[in-house]
Amino acid sequence: MNTFCVFLINIASEPYCTLKNMNTKVIINEQKEFDFKDEKSQIFLNNEVRDYEVIQISSNLYTLSMKNQVHEIEILSITNDNYELKIDGVFLSAELLDHQKQILKALGIEVAAEEKVDNVVSPMPGSIIEISCSTGDEVEKGTPLLILEAMKMENVIKSPAAGTINEIKVSIGESVEKNQVLLVF
């Protein structure tokens, strides 16, 4: 089931990233790796052609039909090349490595500088049901910051980078809009 997010990321998330005509490596939950290629309207996963259909239900919710099965895919968050997804109710993370990043990784070269993050925004409209941090807290990348309830589902919003929380702009029970600033670093 984890391979399905690869198709969704490419097909349904065009505003977020474009993998067209690229060889991309996808790493699922920091364990499973897949080679992905989109070439002339054909999708290759580990050199195997796959037929599929993606239907967008809402801004972050999709259905994917493949091999006579339908799967529900929800994009929870996107930070740089890292995706937090929920596929048929199972949480997973996916990291995309373009050709240049694959070469650097193969050579053992890590990109030293992380992108500076000024704030965390809501990936979708919803309601804040939990805040797990306080002003002044030092957080690491991936630290859960708050929980956003959207469409009767709880979405954990994680820190996109290490830093110090300077301001929390929301409170528990508050309704938020997509792209509204939640926290300031």
Per residue in 73-125, pLDDT tens?
888 877 767 778 888 888 877 777 766 777 777 777 665 445 567 899 998 89
Tell me, what's the pLDDT at 183?
94
Residue whose entry in the numeric block shows the structure tokens 């002339």: 40
Quick one: which H or E segment has residue 154?
A: strand 153-158
Q: What is the pLDDT of residues 158-182, one digit of tens each?
A: 998 888 999 999 999 999 998 899 9
The secondary structure of 24-82 as a DSSP string is EEEEETTTEEEEEEEETTEEEETTEEE--EEEE-SSSEEEEEETTEEEEEEEEEEETTE
Which sign, positive or negative, has the C-alpha torsion 76, 52, 3, 105?
Answer: negative
Whether the per-residue pLDDT at 52 is higher than 60: the answer is yes
Beta strands 119-121 and 167-168, pairing class: unpaired
The region, left, alpha or beta by phi > 0 then psi within -120 to 50, assigned to residue 57 is alpha
Tell me, what's the pLDDT at 2?
39
How far, rounded to the nearest angstrom, does the alpha carbon of residue 59 sit from its chain's CA centroid? 13
CA dihedral 21, 25, 28, 33 (to 10 degrees): 130
Instruction: Compute how many other C-beta atoms are within 10 angstroms of the C-beta atom of residue 156.
Output: 15
Q: What's the predicted TM-score (pTM) here?
A: 0.45
Closest CA to 60 of 109, 125, 110, 104: 125
